[in-house]
Amino acid sequence: MKQGDLVMRKSYGGDVIFKIEAMTKDNAWLRGVNFRLLADSPHHDLERVTSTRFYKHEEMFEEQTNESVRSLKEPSAWKRTGRTQGKSKQTRLQSYFELPGKVLHLDGDPRYLKKSMELYNQLKVPAKGFHMHETNMADALYQLLPEIHPDIVVITGHDGLIKNRPNHNLMDINNYKNSHNFVNAVRVARQYEKNRDSLIIIAGACQSHFEALLQAGANFASSPSRVLIHALDPLIVAAKVSYTPIRDTVHVADAIHPTQSGLEGMGGIESRGSYRMGVPKLNHYANPGAF
């Protein structure tokens, strides 16, 4: 086996497909293909993944993604009721423009970032994405936050519990591969904007230290039950927040429902939405994303 090979771990029943990131004499360092998981394994526990199995795995991933997208409520449906009720006929028929919440997405995996940006575009969520190692995210936010002025920040990549530690305490952040990096990044973002309704922070990856991320200032985080999360779950939550009106509360269960990992994989606190509507409709020269 060599770096770049697709493998699965025999002792785990081949539940996750990994790519070999690096190898030593006895062990391989692994990165999840469709889950935000970092792991290591002895060589003898690894088995190469056939192209047939990999493509089936990719088809399943795409179907899960499509299912999550279908589960999201129609972003514009709320505008056909509620806010227009009680207004004059002229007001109801007046054209409008939309300002969904703007997302700043930091991702430790370039492949997942590419998929995320494609899905943001599909959902018409304005987003700027940057790939960087998890250790660099806190420093990057000092520059990116005042430059981009996002409504929502997604801080994600890869994580996982460290095996064979003498201390198996799940509350000890030193037992996680990247949770401390995510916590540091959340703290920088929350220092920039202390109001949890003015800047929504979504942070974490597979098995991340959920409690530490919330305490650092995240609105939504993974992983309450220390389970694996689907690669696009943080994005799904961000899209829900982006299209929830600012007058409404994003209820945790509603935001998490479209994800694949559910409340075992993602959790958080009630927060306000980021969507705004304006009238009259802007002419074609205007750029709503500039607001």
DSSP bridge pairs for 129: 105
Domain 79-281 indexed as CATH 3.40.50.2300: yes
- Look at residue 18 in the predicted model and tell me its pLDDT: 84
- CATH 3.40.50.2300 residue spans of the chain: 79-281
What does the pLDDT look like over 194-225, one tens digit per residue?
A: 999 999 999 999 999 999 999 999 999 999 99
- Look at residue 284 in the predicted model and tell me its pLDDT: 60
Mean pLDDT in residue range 30-52? 81
Contacts of residue 169, Cβ cutoff 8 Å, sequence gap at least 6: 175
Preceding peptide of 110 cis, ω within 30°: no
Per-chain mean pLDDT for the chain: 85
pLDDT at residue 83 is higher than 50: no
Q: Which residue has the tokens 């959340």?
A: 186
What does the pLDDT look like over 69-79, one tens digit per residue?
A: 766 655 443 44
Task: Spell out the CATH class of 6-49.
Answer: mainly beta
How far apart CA 88 and CA 76 sit, in angstroms, is: 20
The one-letter code for the residue type at 81 is T
Mean pLDDT in residue range 8-25? 82
Contacts 24+ apart (CB under 8 A), 37-41: 37/158, 37/159, 37/160, 37/205, 37/206, 37/207, 37/228, 38/158, 38/159, 38/160, 38/177, 38/178, 38/206, 39/9, 39/160, 40/163, 41/9
Count of all residues that appear for the chain in the document: 291
- CATH 2.30.30 residue spans of the chain: 6-49
Higher pLDDT, 14 or 256: 256
Q: How confident is the model at residue 131 (pLDDT cuts 50, 70, 90)?
A: very high
- Look at residue 169 in the predicted model and tell me its pLDDT: 86
Q: What is the value of pTM for the model shown?
A: 0.83
> How does DSSP classify residue 124?
T
